[in-house]
Amino acid sequence: MRPLLGVSSLFIGLILSKLSNAVTSVIYVENGTSLTLNPNIQGELEDILWTHNGNKVAEHDLVEFQDYGQFKERSEIEVTTGQLTVHNMTSRDSGIYRSVIQINGKLQSSEKEVQVIDAVQEPIVTCNLNNISRALLCSVSSQSHVSYEWTGPGSAQQVGQELHISREEEPESVYTCTVKNEVSQKSSSFTLKHCDTGQNIILPVALSVIAAVVLVIIAVAVYFIWKNKAKDSKQSGKGSGDRQENSQEMTDKKKAETANSALLCEREESSKPVEQKESSESEKDGDNKEDEKPAEEQNLIEPEQDKCEEPTSGTQN
């Protein structure tokens, strides 16, 4: 970038402008928006310089542009008019802006004061009752330099944060509070019937809170009842499973005993032919010995046969 023509003379002119020019008005800008400052000059511009509180903002020599400090990459200069534009303004950008512009070898300067402020928030209207009148109060949070205006039926516009209304006023009457500052305005309306019940507004709010608490208690109670039922059902299912398991074990045990009894009986049945054979051989030796067997021995054998028949029949079933 070539040196600006007469840069030193621009600063000298800037110093002189402080003595000759006074700030005539304040320009208000909403936080987060853009600012455009016009030097209101005429002629063929040669060099343009803008400062903020004595520090360079940007400069242009009609060939190259340069911006500085906190304004870097968010400022621009229009070379035909010399106007400065700064984007995304913040509270840090508030202050005195001065321009020094060279036209046909002569310096012209201008000065602007800028204040960056927030837009107003929506106002809140409340009501106070006494024996004589109603008092409407309009308020906004964390706001300064705001004005209040009231409008309503059959009454002229009134200013101020508080509005007094006769108790004879119709309950359906609506009053509107408008809050303004230099960059924005917002309004809220209020119906007087709400003021008449305003002293009882606490009651509906209290009832709503009580209802909410009751619902929470009911929900908690239902949850614990459901939880206990689920726990009992789980324990009942576990007990039923244990009983089924024990019943199955007893059934298996009974089947095993029946199988063992059947096996013993089969073994006894298989040994009978041998005993019959031995008995036949003993008959050949003499019939007298058979007659001499005690009756008790025959009685001992017969119960054993009956005992084997019972598990056999049970196995078949």
Which pLDDT band, with edges at 50, 70 and 90, does 262 fall under? confident
When pLDDT is averaged across residues 210-214 and rounded to a whole number, the result is: 87
Cβ distance 25 to 43 under 8 Å? no
Cβ neighbours of residue 163 closer than 8 Å, sequence gap 6 or more: 135, 136, 138, 150, 152, 175, 177
Q: 157 and 253, same structural domain? A: no
Q: 111 and 11, same structural domain? A: yes
Q: Kindly report, residue by residue over 57-103, the tens digit of the pLDDT.
A: 999 999 999 999 999 999 999 999 999 999 999 999 999 999 999 99
Q: 107 and 14, same structural domain? A: yes
Residue 27 has phi, psi (to 5 degrees) of -100, 120
Q: 170 and 129, same structural domain? A: yes
When pLDDT is averaged across residues 202-229 and rounded to a whole number, the result is: 79
Q: Which position has the higher pLDDT, 257 or 179?
A: 179
Helices (H) and strands (E) in the chain, counts: 5, 16
Cβ distance 77 to 64 under 8 Å? no
- Confirm whether 41 is domain-assigned: yes
Q: 272 and 182, same structural domain? A: no
Q: 130 and 91, same structural domain? A: no
Residue ending a domain, choose from 180, 200, 220? 200
Distance CA 183, CA 118 (A): 8
Cβ distance 190 to 175 under 8 Å? yes
Q: 71 and 35, same structural domain? A: yes
- Confirm whether 248 is domain-assigned: yes
Tell whether the model's pLDDT for residue 214 goes beyond 50. yes
Tell whether the model's pLDDT for residue 129 goes beyond 80. yes
Q: 313 and 254, same structural domain? A: yes
Tell whether the model's pLDDT for residue 27 goes beyond 60. yes
Which pLDDT band, with edges at 50, 70 and 90, does 241 fall under? low
Which pLDDT band, with edges at 50, 70 and 90, does 138 fall under? very high
Tell whether the model's pLDDT for residue 278 goes beyond 80. no
Distance CA 209, CA 89 (A): 44
* Dihedral (Cα; 244, 250, 256, 257), 10-degree rounding: -160
Q: 254 and 189, same structural domain? A: no
Q: 191 and 234, same structural domain? A: no
Tell whether the model's pLDDT for residue 279 goes beyond 90. no
Q: 149 and 64, same structural domain? A: no
When pLDDT is averaged across residues 38-51 and rounded to a whole number, the result is: 93
Q: Which residue range forms the structural domain that includes residue 306? A: 230-317
- Could you tell me the pTM of the whole model? 0.54
For residue 138, give the CATH number of its domain.
2.60.40.10
Q: Total structural domains in the chain?
A: 3
- Confirm whether 129 is domain-assigned: yes
Instruction: Tell me what pLDDT residue 39 has.
Output: 93
Residue ending a domain, choose from 87, 117, 147? 117
